[in-house]
Amino acid sequence: MSTIRARSPAAYWLALPAALWMIGAVVVPVLLILWVSFWGGRAFSPASPLTFDNYARFFGNRTYLALIGQTLLHAATLMAICGVLGYCIAYFLMVKLRNAPLRTALFLAFIIPFWTSALIRAIAWVPFLGVNGVINRALLALGITDAPVEIFLYSRTGISMAQVSLYTLMASGPVVYMLAQIAPALREAAMTLKAPPGVVFRRVIFPLTLPGVVIGQVLVFLNVMADFATVQTIGGNKIALLSNLILNFYEGAQLRAAAVVSVILMACMLIGVVAAMRVVDIRKLGG
CATH numbers and ranges of domains, the chain: 61-286 (1.10.3720.10)
Closest CA relative to residue 204, chosen from 91, 81, 79, 84: 91
As a whole number, mean pLDDT of residues 94-119 equals: 80
Using 50, 70 and 90 to split pLDDT, how confident is the model at 6? low
As a whole number, mean pLDDT of residues 266-271 equals: 92
CA distance 39 to 256: 7
Using 50, 70 and 90 to split pLDDT, how confident is the model at 66? very high
**What sign for the dihedral angle of Cα 173, 176, 178, 180?**
negative
User: Residue 137 CB: number of other CB atoms within 10 A?
Assistant: 14
Using 50, 70 and 90 to split pLDDT, how confident is the model at 122? confident
Yes or no: say if 261 and 249 are a contact pair by the CB < 8 Å rule. Answer: yes
As a whole number, mean pLDDT of residues 100-111 equals: 81
Long-range pairs for 267-275: beta carbons < 8 A, 24 or more residues apart: 268/68, 268/71, 268/72, 268/225, 268/242, 269/221, 269/222, 269/225, 269/226, 272/75, 272/218, 272/221, 272/222, 272/225, 273/218, 273/221, 273/222
* pTM of the complete model: 0.86
Portion of the chain with pLDDT greater than 90, in percent: 26
Q: According to the model, what pLDDT value does residue 239 have?
A: 81
pLDDT higher than 90, residue 247: no
DSSP-assigned states of every residue in 5-57: -TTSHHHHHHHHHHHHHHIIIIIHHHHHHHHHHTB-SSS-STTSPB-SHHHHH
**Phi, psi for 39 (deg, rounded to 5):** -60, 135
Q: Where are the alpha helices (DSSP H) in the chain?
A: 9-22, 28-37, 53-59, 62-91, 100-111, 118-124, 126-129, 134-141, 156-181, 184-192, 197-200, 206-226, 229-235, 242-251, 255-279
Q: According to the model, what pLDDT value does residue 158 have?
A: 87
pLDDT higher than 50, residue 102: yes
CA distance 161 to 157: 6
pLDDT higher than 80, residue 218: yes
CA distance 177 to 285: 8
Yes or no: say if 67 and 241 are a contact pair by the CB < 8 Å rule. Answer: yes
Using 50, 70 and 90 to split pLDDT, how confident is the model at 12? confident
Q: According to the model, what pLDDT value does residue 259 have?
A: 92
Using 50, 70 and 90 to split pLDDT, how confident is the model at 28? very high
Least confident of 171-175, 250-254, 270-274: 250-254
pLDDT higher than 60, residue 92: yes
Of the two residues 7 and 215, the one the predictor is more confident about is 215
Yes or no: say if 142 and 195 are a contact pair by the CB < 8 Å rule. Answer: no
CA distance 174 to 55: 37
Of the two residues 232 and 117, the one the predictor is more confident about is 232
pLDDT in tens, 151-204: 888 888 888 988 998 899 889 989 988 888 888 777 778 777 777 878 888 888
Using 50, 70 and 90 to split pLDDT, how confident is the model at 1? very low
As a whole number, mean pLDDT of residues 105-127 equals: 80
pLDDT higher than 50, residue 222: yes
pLDDT higher than 50, residue 264: yes
As a whole number, mean pLDDT of residues 117-137 equals: 82
